[in-house]
Amino acid sequence: MEYEPVIGIEIHVELKTKSKMFSSAPCTFGKDPNSQTVPLDLAFPGTMPVVNEEAVVFGIRVSTALNMKVARTLYFDRKNYFYPDLPKGYQITQQFHPIGRDGFVEINVDGKTEKIGIEQAHLEEDTAKQIHLSDISLLNFNRCGTPLIEIVSLPEMHSGLEAMKYVEAIREIVAYLGVSDGKMENGSLRCDINVSLRPKGTIKLGTKCECKNLNTIQNIRSAVDYEVKRQSEILDAGGQVEQETRRYDEGLKQTVLMRKKTDAIDYKYFREPNIVPIDLDEGFIYDAIHSMNKLPNAYRSELKADGLSDYEIEELLKNQDFVVYFEDCLALGIKNSSTLWNFLMVDILGYLNKSQKTLDELKFSKENLVQLVNDLTSGKINSKQAKEVLAIMIEEGKNPTDIIKEKGMEQISDTGEVEKLVDEILKNNQQSVADYQHGKDHALGYLVGQVMKMSHGKANPNLSKELIVKKIGPCIKPTNK
């Protein structure tokens, strides 16, 4: 039988605030265990939660970026359960009145744009981190209370590729907004994926299995693909899929059982009594939205209009700092965006990676880089010379105009001067001229090379080629009889 996978995803995004969701404790990754806590995080008697304003601003921005309706009143609820990583015995969340509802995100799958519905986004606090050793479990409460926004999709994805693209899109959005670093390897973005199968053409959902704590984009696709295969084999054999919680084992390349689910857990939700409803002022919401960073799709549209290819755009978007730098250079009057892309994403990125430096540490200004690109585009120097100038700029921070003058690099682009060189070369290389005219097109490259040699690399190669072809005519290939 042919089955249709149905996939829904819950994404937990740690918000990049200075302090925690309901306390003044710092949100700092990588510090000594249990050093980033205050009494509220550890549920000391008499402690009272205070809502983090910056987290609310971030929640509004995420909801807006995901095309959601933003709540005008904040409500918080208690989710009651007892577990070692939850010192209070409950989690403060937004079960009934999330900050964002009814949104969507667009993803590109095999060249087609697909719209994935999002049910809601709600604010809550993170739990402590458990570290399981062979005979003991340790708890680190540094993470406990960190602000989270949980983004819950509708079950509208149908393949591992779609699931992967959806998570990539969410991660890209929250990173560009500046609300989270989105680093799955640090736990800043965590995914739980629900996968079920149903006979193709039917509506009723099958029994779902949850895959928890997927920590890489590729593992998301691999886990979904494996679950589809595993569940298909069970159904084809006449069995029934059981509701389970599973995890993905990278070594085995498969999902493995964590625990079976029987009845739904009753978390006994009720309104958080220590946080009164908070009405959000329209001015507060307006300011949160209109101070948002530019979103990735806005950059895509602008860069497309500037003449970049889809490949160039996607490579550039992998690093937000590079996108901003690139657009700053465009605003300074760049004459060729693809040349700028090549300098930035090949030469400069290679240097930064090798030296472990950032764009802010470059010795030259954006204005100098724009000048270099424009000098190359206008024909003042050739591409080989431009690479040499850029290398000196990187190492010494000099102005390209000064480097070109010092090195005597300025390209000869005056038609009259280049024509004199071409005439001399054609006169002294009659055999190569004849070879070209009789079908040996490689001879043209030799003739251009001779012009460059005579001019000590200063002649404009494109102009030289154009003049040579104009003077000696076309390359006529012999016909086979």
pLDDT at 226: 93
Asked if residue 223 is part of any domain, the answer here is yes
Asked if residue 287 is part of any domain, the answer here is no
Asked if residue 479 is part of any domain, the answer here is no
pLDDT at 458: 77
Asked if residue 258 is part of any domain, the answer here is yes
Residues 402 and 421 in one domain: no
Q: Please state, in angstroms and rounded to a whole number, the distance separating the CA atoms of residues 404 and 348.
A: 19
Q: Which CATH number characterizes residue 427's domain?
A: 1.10.10.410
Of residues 113, 119, 222, 104, the one with CA closest to residue 163: 222
Residues 69 and 193 in one domain: yes
Residue spans of alpha helices (H) in 178-260:
217-236
Residues 207 and 338 in one domain: no
Of residues 8, 115, 13, the one with CA closest to residue 62: 13
Query: For residue 192, which phi and psi values (nearest 5 degrees)?
Result: -120, 125
Residues 44 and 117 in one domain: yes
Residues 466 and 447 in one domain: yes
Residues 119 and 264 in one domain: yes
Of residues 175, 166, 194, the one with CA closest to residue 5: 194
Residues 206 and 311 in one domain: no
SS3 195: strand
Among 377, 407, 437, residue at a domain's last position: 407
Asked if residue 328 is part of any domain, the answer here is yes
Number of domains in the chain: 3
Residues 352 and 224 in one domain: no
What residues form DSSP beta bridges with 73?
A: 279
Asked if residue 305 is part of any domain, the answer here is yes
Asked if residue 478 is part of any domain, the answer here is no
Residues 436 and 310 in one domain: no
Residues 326 and 269 in one domain: no
Per-residue pLDDT of the chain (481 residues; tens, 9 = 90+): 898 999 999 999 999 999 999 999 999 888 999 999 999 888 888 889 999 999 999 999 999 999 999 999 999 999 998 888 888 999 999 999 999 999 999 999 988 899 999 999 999 999 998 888 888 999 999 999 999 999 999 999 999 999 999 999 999 999 999 999 988 888 889 999 999 999 988 989 888 999 987 888 999 999 999 999 999 999 999 999 889 899 898 888 889 888 887 666 788 999 999 999 999 999 999 999 999 999 999 999 999 999 999 999 999 999 999 999 999 999 999 999 999 999 999 999 999 999 999 999 999 999 999 999 999 988 788 888 899 999 999 999 999 999 988 888 776 777 888 888 888 888 888 888 888 888 888 888 888 889 888 887 777 788 888 888 888 888 777 766 5
Residues 70 and 188 in one domain: yes
pLDDT at 264: 66
In the chain, DSSP finds a helix count (H) and a strand count (E) of 16, 16
What residues form DSSP beta bridges with 195?
A: 7, 209
Among 220, 248, 282, residue at a domain's last position: 282
Residue spans of alpha helices (H) in 107-237:
160-177, 217-236
Domain that holds residue 427: 415-472
Residues 117 and 148 in one domain: yes
Asked if residue 480 is part of any domain, the answer here is no
pLDDT at 346: 94
The phi-psi region of residue 439 (left if phi > 0; otherwise alpha if psi is between -120 and 50; otherwise beta) is left
Q: Please state, in angstroms and rounded to a whole number, the distance separating the CA atoms of residues 435 and 438.
A: 5
pTM for the full model? 0.83
